């Protein structure tokens, strides 16, 4: 235990429980009405800029990725109601869920099969666009399909993209960068699954493995990139570009909600639960949603018990100045996509006025929830994605929040969305191994 942190354990119950590696639920006492208007580090028009950039790249993406032909090059996932999973959670965990339960299936996003396909791919595309603009090879008025021509692949091949990752971000950065022609180096922490390393190498990506954790992989990757003037480092700890790529999901989700005839207002509240590693993906999604729905959307992050860095950072107010190891926690979890020991340098600050709370969950329950979703809905998602159900299976804590917000009478009209962050690229043998975990 790092000296000086005892006071937080003694005065903040959630920090005390989390430091003892117990499941917990922290409600954000810094959340304020219309909190999205108090965020000054970013501006709403930056989301529009990111959206337009993705639309410019759509012809190119449609050209080089067959799975994007039907969507015209737009990378998006299904929003599906999962009533049988709702019944399972209510019966197995006494969740008492009212209203609709839906799954946002970023687990099945095209190209890299995880939520990281949003921010990761966006940042690579933005970097490629800037390089091509600076070289006089591309303008905004061009049809970006031209980027599929060999001359662009040769041009990008003179440049390097690097990133540190526990797995899914590396997959998105690696696959997209390699497709454009970049030399790609992914620095993978000890938590990363072997199949993800193998897949990247099969796409021509250089993978450097570390025996240490995520933070060490990021630090070394950043250092290596700084020593190469042709290299660009995707900095998951600090990147606003990643964040904005994720934030476009808000507008996309709004269109899907409206297409299904679902109302979102004071009488029809929206609850969204997003697994959290370093915080960029859930932070960006939350930011995008709050810009649209304001106080009518209630966003929660969910983390593994052994890697609850965002809870520690936000609950103590220390943000990235504290890590799980400071509280004597090893940071090791089967939820590899969430195996992060220190939160983002800026996401926690952006989330302070808007985030509803954070729930933590034991690894064993991730496997039980994974099997429950597969058995009830025939949908497979990876263990880390199942953290999205963590708040829903703590009904007493969630009820405290609902009562605090004065929403008890509205919950029968509520829509709950669990954000599935990865899964469809998991190899069959690995799926079988996951499904057998904790059964013997």
Each residue's pLDDT tens digit, 293-351: 999 999 999 999 999 999 999 999 999 999 999 999 999 999 988 999 999 989 999 99
- Top mean pLDDT of 200-214, 218-232, 398-412 is at 398-412
pLDDT for res 440: 55
Please check whether residues 263 and 378 belong to one and the same domain. Answer: yes
Residue 160 β-bridge partners: 183, 231
pLDDT for res 68: 97
Where in the sequence is the domain holding 152, given as residue range(s)?
115-242
CB atoms within 10 A of CB 58: 17
Please check whether residues 308 and 397 belong to one and the same domain. Answer: yes
**Residue 346: inside a domain:** yes
The domain boundary residue, chosen from 197, 220, 242 = 242
Contacts of 277 by beta carbon, 8 Å cutoff, 6+ apart: 166, 214, 307, 337, 338, 339, 340
Least confident of 189-193, 361-365, 398-402, 406-410: 189-193
CB atoms within 10 A of CB 35: 18
Any alpha helices (H) in 227-362, and if so which ranges?
A: 240-247, 249-259, 280-293, 309-316, 347-351
Contacts of 436 by beta carbon, 8 Å cutoff, 6+ apart: none
Please check whether residues 413 and 377 belong to one and the same domain. Answer: yes
Place of tokens 């405290």: 400
**Residue 14: inside a domain:** yes
Contact 339, 307 (CB under 8 A): yes
Of the candidates 306, 326, 314, 232, which has an alpha carbon nearest to the alpha carbon of residue 279? 314
Q: 72 falls in which pLDDT band (50, 70, 90)? A: very high
pLDDT for res 311: 98
Q: What is the DSSP string of 336-362?
A: GGG--SS--TTHHHHHTTT--EEEEE-
pLDDT top residue among 44 and 76: 76
Please check whether residues 230 and 260 belong to one and the same domain. Answer: no
Mean pLDDT for all residues in the chain: 95
**Residue 427: inside a domain:** yes
Q: What is the signed CA dihedral for 114, 118, 123, 124, rounded to 10 degrees?
A: 60
**Residue 62: inside a domain:** no
Of the candidates 334, 288, 282, which has an alpha carbon nearest to the alpha carbon of residue 311? 282
Q: 216 falls in which pLDDT band (50, 70, 90)? A: confident
Specify the length of the chain in residues.
440
Please check whether residues 198 and 301 belong to one and the same domain. Answer: no
CB atoms within 10 A of CB 259: 9
- Work out the average pLDDT over 404-428: 97
**Residue 432: inside a domain:** yes
The domain boundary residue, chosen from 213, 242, 271 = 242
Please check whether residues 236 and 253 belong to one and the same domain. Answer: no
pLDDT for res 175: 97
Decide if pLDDT at 191 tops 90: no
- Work out the average pLDDT over 204-218: 88
Of the candidates 305, 321, 326, which has an alpha carbon nearest to the alpha carbon of residue 237? 321
The domain boundary residue, chosen from 202, 223, 242 = 242
CB atoms within 10 A of CB 158: 11
Please check whether residues 267 and 316 belong to one and the same domain. Answer: yes
pLDDT for res 316: 97
Vertex 385: Cα angle to 105 and 240 (nearest 5)? 80
Please check whether residues 304 and 381 belong to one and the same domain. Answer: yes
Decide if pLDDT at 81 tops 70: yes
Q: Which residues of 337-353 are buried (b: 16+ CB within 10 A; e: fewer)?
A: bbbbbbbbbbbbbbbbb
Least confident of 29-33, 333-337, 358-362, 422-426: 333-337
**Residue 35: inside a domain:** yes
Least confident of 50-64, 69-83, 144-158, 324-338: 324-338
Q: CB-based burial of residue 229 (10 Å sphere; 0-12 exposed, 13-18 middle, 19+ buried)?
A: exposed
Contacts of 123 by beta carbon, 8 Å cutoff, 6+ apart: 173, 234, 239, 241, 242, 245
Please check whether residues 298 and 393 belong to one and the same domain. Answer: yes
**pTM of the predicted model, to two decimals?**
0.96
Separation of alpha carbons 315 and 317, rounded Å: 6
Separation of alpha carbons 330 and 323, rounded Å: 10
Please check whether residues 152 and 279 belong to one and the same domain. Answer: no
Contact 51, 288 (CB under 8 A): no
**Residue 215: inside a domain:** yes
- Work out the average pLDDT over 419-434: 95
Please check whether residues 131 and 101 belong to one and the same domain. Answer: no
Could you tell me the CA-to-CA distances from 246 to 260, 294, 335, 421 in Å, in that order? 22, 17, 20, 12
pLDDT for res 40: 85
Decide if pLDDT at 113 tops 80: yes
Instruction: Identify the CATH number of the domain in which residue 237 sits.
Output: 3.40.50.1100
- Number of domains into which the chain is organized: 2
Please check whether residues 253 and 376 belong to one and the same domain. Answer: yes
Q: 416 falls in which pLDDT band (50, 70, 90)? A: very high
């Amino acid at each position: 235990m790092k000296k000086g942190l005892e006071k937080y354990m003694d005065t903040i119950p959630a920090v005390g429980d989390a430091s003892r590696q117990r499941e917990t639920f922290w409600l954000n006492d810094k959340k304020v009405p219309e909190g999205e208007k108090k965020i000054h580090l970013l501006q709403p028009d930056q989301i529009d800029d990111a959206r337009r950039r993705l639309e410019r790249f759509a012809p190119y993406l449609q050209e080089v990725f067959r799975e994007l032909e039907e969507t015209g090059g737009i990378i998006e996932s299904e929003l599906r109601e999962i009533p049988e999973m709702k019944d399972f959670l209510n019966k197995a965990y006494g969740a008492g869920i009212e209203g609709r339960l839906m799954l946002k299936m970023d687990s099945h996003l095209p190209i890299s099969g995880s939520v990281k396909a949003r921010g990761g791919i966006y940042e690579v595309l933005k970097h490629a666009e800037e390089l091509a603009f600076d070289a006089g090879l591309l303008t905004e008025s061009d049809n970006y399909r031209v980027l599929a021509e060999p001359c662009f692949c040769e041009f990008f091949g003179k440049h390097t993209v690097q990133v540190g990752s526990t797995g899914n971000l590396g997959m998105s950065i690696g696959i997209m960068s390699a497709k454009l022609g970049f030399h790609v180096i992914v620095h993978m922490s000890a938590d990363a699954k072997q199949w993800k390393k193998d897949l990247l190498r099969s796409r021509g990506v250089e993978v450097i493995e570390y025996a240490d954790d995520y933070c060490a992989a990021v630090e070394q990757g950043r250092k290596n990139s700084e020593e190469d003037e042709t290299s660009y480092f995707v900095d998951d700890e600090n990147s606003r570009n990643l964040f904005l790529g994720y934030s476009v999901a808000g507008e996309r989700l709004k269109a899907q909600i409206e297409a299904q005839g679902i109302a979102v207002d004071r009488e029809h509240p929206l609850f969204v639960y997003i697994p959290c590693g370093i915080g960029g993906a859930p932070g960006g999604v939350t930011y995008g949603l709050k810009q649209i729905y304001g106080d009518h959307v209630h966003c929660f992050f969910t983390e593994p018990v052994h890697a609850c860095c965002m809870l520690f950072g936000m609950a103590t107010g220390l943000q990235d100045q504290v890590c799980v190891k400071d509280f004597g926690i090893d940071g090791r979890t089967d939820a590899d996509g969430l195996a992060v020991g220190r939160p983002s340098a800026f996401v926690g600050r952006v989330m302070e006025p808007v985030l509803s709370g954070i729930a933590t969950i034991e690894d064993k329950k991730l496997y039980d929830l994974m099997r429950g979703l597969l058995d009830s809905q025939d949908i497979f998602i990876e263990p880390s994605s199942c953290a999205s159900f963590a708040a829903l299976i703590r009904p007493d804590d969630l009820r405290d929040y609902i009562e605090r917000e004065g929403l008890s009478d509205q919950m029968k009209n509520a829509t709950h969305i669990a954000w599935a962050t990865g899964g469809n690229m998991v190899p069959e043998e690995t799926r079988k191994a996951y499904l057998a975990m904790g059964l013997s």
